[in-house]
Amino acid sequence: MSTFTFNTTGATVRYTRSGNQNIYGTNYHHLSLLNGSTKTFSANTATIGGNLLFDGVTSTLLRSLTIGGNVTFEGAYNVTLGAFTHNVGGNWSKNGWGVHTVTGSTINFTGASSELNGVHWQQNFNNISVSKTAGQTLGVNLGSELVIAGNFTLASGNYNQGTTNSVISGNWTNNGGSVVSSAGIIRMNGSGTTIGGTASTTFNNLTINNN
């Protein structure tokens, strides 16, 4: 079979069939999965250099992905992230009413400043890690709560929660980042959870409920 190269800068590959489709096992620049049905990833796809769009599709990730741009969820999607760490260099946007299954997964936000945003839907994660370039910020701008079932790790860069409230059921670890003072409430809500790391954290609004 011929070898195809889809990761040319600026190129977008769109899977639009109304029936089920297998995603060709290669790296991409922009990748859009559209038009409902099941889109099946290959374990050979490891890098999306630009943006990744899930629009009304059912899909399961089969390995860790490195995504250089934005990850966007539209429509009635159903995406399983798998027990992997996915590196995201751009925004994470939930504009649809679907669900992403997060069990075992870590979303690691890297690179330049970006935002975790959405229209008015609650956003659920397992673990979140912030590994931004020094001076760059992960902002949060949600119409509802940010819910983290596992741990939050601030490795580098800044974290600005804005007016969004968050619930963290695992540990908070700061190993070298900064928290921007904001109106949003951080609620530590797990039994035996800890606040630690190699760097100190100054919170503006913090509630601890670890009964």
Report pLDDT for 4: 53
Q: What is the pLDDT of residues 31-90, one digit of tens each?
A: 999 998 999 999 999 999 999 999 999 999 999 999 999 999 999 999 999 999 999 999
Q: Where does the pLDDT of residue 192 fall: very low under 50, low under 70, confident under 90, or very high at 90 and above?
A: confident
1 pLDDT above the threshold of 60: no
* H or E element that contains 113: none
User: What's the pLDDT at 9?
Assistant: 73
Residue type, position 68, single letter: G
Structure tokens at 159: 């974290």
Parallel, antiparallel or unpaired: strands 30-33 and 12-15: parallel
Q: Six-digit token pair at 195? A: 């606040």
- Spatial CB neighbours of 76, under 8 Å, sequence gap ≥ 6: 56, 96, 97, 98
Residue 75 contacts residue 94 (beta carbons within 8 Å): no
The residue among 72, 86, 3, 82 whose CA lies nearest residue 32 is 72
DSSP 46-103: -EESS-EEEES-EEE--S--EESS-EEEESS-EEE--SSEEEESS-EEE-SS-EEE-T
Asked if residue 157 lies in contact with residue 131, where contact means CB atoms within 8 angstroms, the answer is: yes
